[in-house]
Amino acid sequence: MSEKKIKVLRVINRFNLGGPTYNAAYLTKYLDDKYETLLVGGQKYEEEESSEFILEQLGIKPIIIPEMQRSISFEKDKIAYQKLKQIIKDFQPDIVHTHASKAGTLGRLAAKKMKVPVIVHTFHGHVFHSYFGKTKTLVYKNIERYLAKKTNKIIAISDIQKKELTKDHKICRAHKIEVVPLGFDLDRFQADIENKRKSFREKYLLEEDELAIGIIGRLVAIKNHNMFVKVVSKIMNKTSKKVRFFIIGDGEEKQNIKNSLNSENINYTEWSENPKKSTITFTSWIKNIDWSNAGLDIIILTSLNEGTPVSLIEAQASNKPIVTTNVGGVKNVTKENQTAFITEVNDVDDFTAKLLNIIEDDELRNEMGKQGWKYVENNFSYRRLVKDVERLYGSLLQGI
């Protein structure tokens, strides 16, 4: 007679391209056979690149709740909440594990209402600074404090995030938080690098002596592309090397970024409309980020706020040096001055100086790149993620 499986209901905001989807997908697919997992998520937004291909590759068929959306809508939120309660009633999970804010709110409330034995929530990022004004931010903090009381364990994805949640924003006591870094399938970033590099550089008309610098992610205000534009302007006036920049991603801020580029007299092209060489190329979304990373020489990030910046983990897995702002878990996912140079937010001069250093020094650029793979291979594999979460689930189930 087979042992009764432990049922896990996993709830995520939406299936957009990013760390939370990878996290939820790997945990759904690779937990030990003694677990049975059902994945539920909201609808992705039109301006975001879908990550459903990740689920398809892993053979995962999620339940979609269209009403579970990022923005607050009492009508839609109520429908999503009722649907989650019904799913819990039908599935009878032993554990409800929610990922990110909206799923965390509706999922935890529904789980508590339906008396689920174990409730776990993962903070992939948070909205406690740089997103909203003081009043709205306080409302969100109070909601999270209330929900924390209904949660058996909260997962932070870095030590820095745990500090922010406990000491800076006082969401809950430290004993309630477990640090479980994200995990990814990183092997593909080491596979067939030379052919991928050649293919990327041929497509975007990159010469051998041109350095390609990429910024990767949604084109939204929190990613702070205004700082990126200022850095590009300064770099083009300071370097003697041939340098081109690539904006990989899409989103609502694209026109504002173009306006900033125009005001700085920086030439750019949107590749899908006009495939030609320019200082900056908008590539839109690229699903095979291992392909684009292979073609780049340096990867940068200028964000105002982050959870765990996946693009930096993937950069290191691709042997690429990094320059980044000091936000969220950046210092937990990089080795400062070994794989990445780190500056404070909006310190354009320091960022420019550090980026210029990597541009001008070929030996430094290569050495920082080599260090990256060694570091992330040991610390950010999905195999390690799965083991950590299985260990946590086991301890929580023993405690009920």
pTM of the model: 0.73
Residue 375 is assigned to a structural domain of this protein: yes
pLDDT of residue 357: 98
pLDDT digits (tens, 9 = 90+) for 140-180: 889 999 999 999 999 998 888 899 999 988 999 999 999 99
pLDDT of residue 45 exceeding 70, the answer is: no
pLDDT of residue 70 exceeding 70, the answer is: yes
Residues 219 and 328 both lie in one domain: yes
pLDDT of residue 394: 96
Residues 43 and 55 both lie in one domain: yes
pLDDT digits (tens, 9 = 90+) for 1-41: 457 899 999 999 888 756 788 889 999 999 999 999 999 99
Residues 118 and 252 both lie in one domain: no
Residues 244 and 198 both lie in one domain: yes
Residue 287 is assigned to a structural domain of this protein: yes
CATH number at residue 34: 3.40.50.2000
Question: Among 75-89, 112-126, 309-323, where is mean pLDDT lowest?
Answer: 112-126
Residues 258 and 275 both lie in one domain: yes
pLDDT of residue 400 exceeding 90, the answer is: no
pLDDT of residue 140: 83
Question: Among 110-114, 123-127, 294-298, 359-363, where is mean pLDDT lowest?
Answer: 123-127
- To the nearest whole number, what is the mean pLDDT of the chain? 92
Average pLDDT over residues 342-348: 97
Residue 335 is assigned to a structural domain of this protein: yes
Average pLDDT over residues 100-115: 95
Give the chain's domain count: 2
- 3-state SS track over the chain: CCCCCEEEEEEEEECECCHHHHHHHHHHHHCCCCEEEEEEEECCCCCCCECHHHHHHHCCCCEEECCCCCCCCHHHHHHHHHHHHHHHHHHCCCEEEEECHHHHHHHHHHHHHCCCCEEEEEECCCCCCCCCCHHHHHHHHHHHHHHHCCCCEEEECCHHHHHHHHHHCCCCCHHHEEECCCCECCHHHHCCHHHHHHHHHHHCCCCCCEEEEEEECCCCHHHCHHHHHHHHHHHHHHCCCEEEEEEEECCCCHHHHHHHHHHCCCCEEECCCCCCCCCEEEEECCCCHHHHHHHCCEEEECCCCCCCCHHHHHHHHCCCCEEEECCCCHHHHCCECCCEEEECCCCHHHHHHHHHHHHHCHHHHHHHHHHHHHHHHHHCEHHHHHHHHHHHHHHHHHCC
Q: Which domain holds residue 348?
A: 187-379
Residues 225 and 354 both lie in one domain: yes
pLDDT of residue 130 exceeding 50, the answer is: no
Residues 179 and 192 both lie in one domain: no
Residues 27 and 174 both lie in one domain: yes
Residue 200 is assigned to a structural domain of this protein: yes
Residue 162 is assigned to a structural domain of this protein: yes
Band of residue 67 on the pLDDT scale cut at 50, 70, 90: very high
Residue 214 is assigned to a structural domain of this protein: yes
pLDDT of residue 127: 55
Residue 1 is assigned to a structural domain of this protein: no
pLDDT digits (tens, 9 = 90+) for 289-330: 999 999 999 999 999 988 778 899 999 999 999 999 999 889
pLDDT of residue 1: 42
Residues 143 and 32 both lie in one domain: yes
Residues 147 and 196 both lie in one domain: no
Average pLDDT over residues 246-255: 96
94 or 332, greater pLDDT:
94
Residues 256 and 108 both lie in one domain: no
Residues 155 and 241 both lie in one domain: no
Residue 101 is assigned to a structural domain of this protein: yes
